[in-house]
């Protein structure tokens, strides 16, 4: 799938820890896509490779139906085997030639960064977009160190590829990201921890569309 920065407008990252006994991951992802999520990342830290692969293969047709890119977190082999649209990597991976040489040219490459230097190196090494955070306090990564919004602005001013902000973003604090030149926001709990996922996603997208990033 061809990448455009508009796909980062409302970037949902799945998290099965928010599932209740009556839910499954497929259903809550479908609710988020129905609400207007523009990109989806499958993030699984506790599944073995076979389970993770099955999950990505299962979700892929759903994302295709909604025209939303499917990104795999931190596992290039699964992204390639499942023919996902992209992979999101950490700082160590983006500079590893043995990893980079195996990424298909058509694949979207996301990279996490917390400094201007990291973001610039990521752009140099072929990242499609940069995920910057954690911007606010987050329950998903409790050890994450918050970034000053001025650093976010500095990163967007110094690279030519799209930037998405992540970490503790809610409908109440999106306005604080105005004039940062980001392409959009990436969220987990603001979508998947909500009682009505479709409604929550739709409300977030509406706010994002009205926010002058």
Identity of the highest mean pLDDT range in 80-94, 95-109, 169-183? 169-183
Q: Which helix (H) or strand (E) holds 39?
A: strand 39-42
Structure tokens at 47: 């599944």
Q: What is the pLDDT of residue 77?
A: 93
Cis peptide before 134 (omega within 30 of 0): yes
Residue located via tokens 């954690």: 134
Q: What is the pLDDT of residue 92?
A: 82
Q: What is the pLDDT of residue 55?
A: 96
Q: What is the pLDDT of residue 93?
A: 80
Q: Does the predicted TM-score (pTM) go above 0.85?
A: yes
Q: Which domains does the chain have, with CATH numbers?
A: 5-89+136-147+165-210 (3.20.20.70)
Q: In the chain, what percentage of residues exceed pLDDT 70?
A: 95
Quote the CA–CA distance of 165 and 180 in Å, as a whole number: 10
For the stretch 122-156, pLDDT in tens is 999 999 999 999 999 866 555 556 788 999 999 99
Nearest 5°: phi and psi at 5?
Answer: -65, -20
Tell me if 82 sits within 8 A of 53, measured CB to CB: yes
């Amino acid at each position: 799938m061809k990448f455009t920065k508009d796909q980062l407008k409302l970037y949902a990252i799945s998290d099965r820890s928010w599932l209740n006994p009556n839910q499954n991951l497929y259903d809550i992802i479908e609710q988020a896509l129905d609400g207007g999520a523009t990109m989806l990342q499958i993030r699984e830290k506790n599944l073995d490779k076979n389970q993770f692969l099955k999950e990505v293969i299962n979700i892929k047709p759903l994302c295709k139906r909604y025209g939303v890119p499917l990104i795999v977190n931190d596992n290039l082999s699964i992204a390639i085997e499942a023919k996902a649209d992209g992979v999101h990597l950490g700082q160590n991976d983006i500079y590893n030639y043995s990893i980079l040489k195996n990424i298909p040219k058509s694949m979207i490459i996301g990279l996490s960064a917390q400094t201007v230097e990291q973001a610039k190196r990521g752009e140099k090494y072929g990242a499609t977009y940069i995920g910057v955070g954690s911007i606010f306090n987050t329950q998903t990564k409790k050890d994450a160190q918050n970034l000053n919004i001025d650093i976010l602005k500095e990163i967007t001013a110094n690279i030519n590829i799209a930037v998405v902000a992540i970490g503790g973003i809610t409908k109440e604090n999106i306005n604080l990201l105005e004039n940062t030149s980001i392409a959009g926001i990436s969220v987990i709990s603001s979508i998947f921890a909500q009682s009505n996922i479709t409604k929550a996603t739709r409300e977030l997208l509406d706010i994002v569309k009205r926010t002058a990033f």
